[in-house]
Structure 1
C-alpha cells in the first residue's frame, strides 16, 4: 500500500482545486508517519521539501504525531527527517513553515471548537475512564501540542484526520472531521485530504471514511481558522 511510485504520485500528480498544496504535502507525510513506513516517509519528506515545504512545518507535524501516534512513531519520524536533511545538504528547502503559523487559542478553546456542544460530555466520559485522562488531554494534547504556534488549527486538523484514518480510530476520526470543518475546511477539501490517504489504507476503511464525511452537515467555518 505504500510502494514508492504511489508515494511520489501523491506529491507530483495533478493538483485539484480547493485544498492548499502545502496542506496536501503535510497530510501525506502525517499519514506515512502514522503508518510507520520509514522508507516511504523519507522519500516523501524529500519530495515535499524539494517542493518548498519548510523544515519547521515538518517538525511541527512530528510533534503533533506524539498524541496521535505515540512517541515511537514521532521519534521515528524525527530520525527520518534528520536523515533526509543530511542527504539534502546544500539543497534549498522551503524557507518558512509552510502554511502561515497559527497559535492564539488555549488548549481548552481548541478542544471545545473540535467537540462543540459535546465537549463537556466527552470530558466527563474521559474522566470516567481514568481521573487523569481529561486533564492530560486538555493540558498536553491540546494545550501543549495542538494549540502551539507553528501551524494553524485548520492545517493541524487536516493532518489529524489523515493520521486517524491510517490508525482506523473511527470515533476520533469523525470528531476531527467535524473539527476540521469548524476551523474552516470545506467538505470538498476534506475529500481531498481523504484521497491523499487512501493510497495507504485498506479499501474498506476508505469507504467508511468517505461515508462518514458524507453524513456530516455543511458547517459554518470558525473565524480565524483558515489559511490563505
Structure 2
C-alpha cells in the first residue's frame, strides 16, 4: 500500500512540477526581455530629456546586450516622434557613457551597420510597402485628412519615415514600435497616434501583457496623468478586440 501511495505521490509531484514549470515558461515567453526593456527605458528617458537617468539606462542597455549601433538607431528613430533636439541630446549623452566605459576598459560591441538598400522602387513606394507590412493591410483608400490639407506631409511620411528610417535593418519592426509607443506615451497628449501604434504592436506580435508591461516601465519616468492616459488608451484598444 505504501509503495502504491509513493507512486501516486511521485506522479502528482511530477505533474505539479510540469505545471509550475509550464506556467513559469509561459510567463517568461509573455514578458519583455532585458533588451526590449532597455529599449523602452532609453526611448522614454530620451524623449523626456532626463539625461541623468538616461546615462544609467544606456549603460544598463549595453550590459543587457544591446549593441552600440542598436542604441544609436533608437536615438535616430525616435527623433521622428519627439524631434531632433531630444535625439541629439540623447546621442551626446551616449557619447559620454561610451567614453566613460572605454576609460574603464569596457569594450562595447559595435554591432551591425544598416544593410545597403537594393530595392529599386521609389522611396514613396518602398515606404508605402513598409507601412502596409506594419499594419498588414493594403492602403489604397482615400488620403487621411492631414494629407488632404497638406499633401507634402504624406510624402515626407512615406519617403522619409517609412522608407529612409524603416528600411534600416539595425532594428526590426517590433523594436521600432516599442520605441515609438514609449516616446508617444512619454510626451503625452497624442492619444490617437498612441492607439494606432499600440495596435501596430499587437499586429506585429507584441502581446497585450507585453504592452501593459511597456506602459508600466514608461510609468516610472512620466507623471501620473500621462501614464493613466496611456493605460486608458491601451485598455480601450484591447476591449475593442474582445
If the length of structure 1 is used for normalisation, what is the TM-score?
Answer: 0.78
Does residue 92 (structure 1) correspond to residue 126 (structure 2)? The answer is no
1:42–1:80 contact (8 Å) kept in structure 2:
yes
1:199 aligns with 220
2:81–2:180 contact (8 Å) kept in structure 1:
yes
Structure 2: which 5+ runs fail to align? Answer: 1-26, 120-124
CA RMSD in angstroms comes to: 2.8
2:231 aligns with 210
Match among 194, 197, 218 for residue 173 of structure 1: 194
Distance 1:116 1:129 in 2: 26
Range with greater deviation from structure 2 (61-70 or 208-217) = 208-217
Q: Which has the larger radius of gyration?
A: 2
Distance 1:217 1:210 in 2: 11
Structure 1 residue 152 displacement after superposition: 0.7
2:177 aligns with 157
Q: 1:199 to 1:119 in 2, by over 3 A?
A: farther
Match among 54, 63, 73 for residue 86 of structure 2: 73
Distance 2:127 2:202 in 1: 18
- Paired residues, number: 201
If the length of structure 2 is used for normalisation, what is the TM-score?
Answer: 0.74
1:148 aligns with 168
Distance 1:85 1:197 in 2: 24
1:5 aligns with none
Q: 1:172 to 1:120 in 2, by over 3 A?
A: farther
Structure 1: which 5+ runs fail to align? Answer: 1-15, 221-228
2:195–2:237 contact (8 Å) kept in structure 1:
no
Distance 2:226 2:141 in 1: 27
